[in-house]
Amino acid sequence: KAGVTQTPRYLIKTRGQQVTLSCSPISGHRSVSWYQQTPGQGLQFLFEYFSETQRNKGNFPGRFSGRQFSNSRSEMNVSTLELGDSALYLCASSLIPGGNTGELFFGEGSRLTVL
Amino acid sequence: QQQVKQSPQSLIVQKGGISIINCAYENTAFDYFPWYQQFPGKGPALLIAIRPDVSEKKEGRFTISFNKSAKQFSLHIMDSQPGDSATYFCAASDTDKLIFGTGTRLQVFP
């Protein structure tokens, strides 16, 4: 059974640009969550999608957005990049939504560097 | 209200020793407390989890101790091995979302 796949794995952008990250969940998983990981801050929740609908959103500015497609694949977009957006962006999938309903399966992440 | 505080930030343990990582939360609505393990270059993976109706859960060398009244929970790794060297994240959630601690980098030396 294939795991969660995130692309691209590494990317470098400059301030002001935008970036789109992609996540393919485990087959059969309909819930996809996104987290930002930075040293010292741990994993911070960005948003969760279930059945193409944003179910929950973390405390991030509107420059961070996402969507989910009918095949459960998800994308997140960051516009007008800032230096502080440099981070590892992790996608996680699960069978059903909600923080307390069971295991999240994480991908290996997309490491974004903003210069 | 939504924070999960984790300590220590880093931990160095000798092989065979006990590693202890502590977490504290404030939101009494939290009802699920997992621990995730992350190796360099990999995403976090679920290690062990507990719900507040029990005070302890053990899986092999890994044990979660849970103190509901103190709103604290901890991970104990018995007989720590070099292969346990990783970053450990505690987390807590209600029906809303999973909130993670800031992580503990564990290094186990032979």
> What integer best gives the mean pLDDT of chain B?
94
A81 touches chain B (CB under 8 A): no
Mean pLDDT of B28-38: 94
User: Cα dist. A79→A59, A66, B92 in Å?
Assistant: 16, 11, 30
Distance of alpha carbon A44 from alpha carbon A60, whole angstroms: 9
Please check the confidence at residue B18 and state whether its pLDDT lies above 60: yes
pLDDT at B95: 77
Q: What mean pLDDT comes out for the span B3-8?
A: 94
How far apart (Å, rounded) are the C-alpha atoms in residues A21 and A26? 17
What pLDDT, on the 0 to 100 scale, is given for residue A80?
A: 97
pLDDT score for A98: 76
Q: Inform me whether the C-beta atom of residue B32 falls under 8 Å from chain A C-beta atoms.
A: yes
What pLDDT is stored for residue B1 in this prediction?
Answer: 52
Mean pLDDT of B4-8: 96
At residue A99, the pLDDT reads: 72
Please name the residue of chain B whose CA is at the shortest distance from the CA of residue A57. B97
Of A53-57, A71-75, B47-51, B92-96, the least confident:
B92-96
B34 and B48 in contact (C-beta within 8 Å)? yes
Name the burial class of residue B105, with classes exposed (0-12), middle (13-18) and buried (19+) by CB atoms within 10 angstroms of its CB: middle
What's the mean per-residue pLDDT of chain A?
94
Query: Which residue type, as a one-letter code, is found at position A11?
Result: L
Contact check, Cβ <8 Å, A104/B46 = yes
Question: Which residue of chain A comes nearest to B94, CA vs CA?
Answer: A100
Q: Which residues touch A103 (CB under 8 Å, ≥6 apart)?
A: A94, B34, B46, B49
> How far is residue A35 from each of residues B44, B94, B109, measured CA to CA in Å?
11, 17, 31
pLDDT surpasses 90 at A102: no
Q: Is the peptide bond before B8 cis (omega within 30 degrees of 0)?
A: yes
Res. B76: pLDDT tops 70: yes
How large a percentage of chain B has pLDDT more than 90? Answer: 90
